[in-house]
Amino acid sequence: MSESDITLDLARAERIGLEEAIFCAHTTTAQLAAILHALAGAERRALLTRLSAARRDELPHALRMRLDYDAVSETAFFDWQEAAIEIDRVAIVTAGSSDMPVAREALRTLCYAGVGARLIADVGVAGLWRLQARLDEIRACPVCIAVAGMDAALPSVLGGLYAGALIAVPTSVGYGVARGGTTALHAILASCAPGIVAVNIDNGYGAACAALRILGS
């Protein structure tokens, strides 16, 4: 794998307002290094997703030093400059603490794009008072990302209480009939509450991109 085998889509941000992100799960370390060199050559920053800590450690030291890495979400920012964010426009809500990696992937993607977001964790419907206590904070944002695994009842309940754009992310949390997030995904799509939309299982990055499309619109 050499740099000449890489075709970066550098004009993507101009076309659709979203930069190409690097999905690292299926790339080799050699491919990844070649991509980062190409980006550096083009003087571009980048968002990396699904970058395990082990994979990051295999990168050459010089590249590794240019990454702002978050271990919980397995995301990294390459050659990124922090900028001031004023208000929270997205509420990210999770059913349980096991949903945190996915929620943080969404949070980091928004942060990379300069959009403020608020993380409200651990408000699953088995203890409904927890959600009710945080409802005003959620309603203050025009977009909400709801992250939930297992039966994913949280987005349905939220859908009856919250009027803004509601993006649900099913997670692979659970076992047995949870089926790696399929039950959560199907429960979200079959929800009796109207107007909820879904992204792929564990796709916190995609949910954040959808929020960016909405906020840019």
d(CA 216, CA 126): 35
Cβ 129 to a copy of itself shortest distance, Å = 8
Scan residues 147-176 and list those touching a copy of itself (CB under 8 A): 150-153, 156-157, 159-167, 170, 172-176
HEC string of 82-123 equals CCCCCCEEEEEEECCHHHHHHHHHHHHHHHHCCCEEEEECCC
Closest CA to 95 of 127, 135, 48: 127
Closer residue to a copy of itself in complex, CB, 48/96: 96
The reply on whether position 186 binds a copy of itself by CB under 8 A is yes
d(CA 19, CA 25): 18
Closer residue to a copy of itself in complex, CB, 64/186: 186
Cβ 202 to a copy of itself shortest distance, Å = 6
- The values of phi and psi at residue 90, to 5°, are -130, 130
Tell me, by CB under 8 A, how many residues bind a copy of itself: 94
The reply on whether position 41 binds a copy of itself by CB under 8 A is no
Contact pick of 6, 42, 62, 140 for a copy of itself (by CB under 8 A): 6
Binding marks (x or -) toward a copy of itself, 60..99, rule CB under 8 A? Answer: ------------x----------------------xxxx-
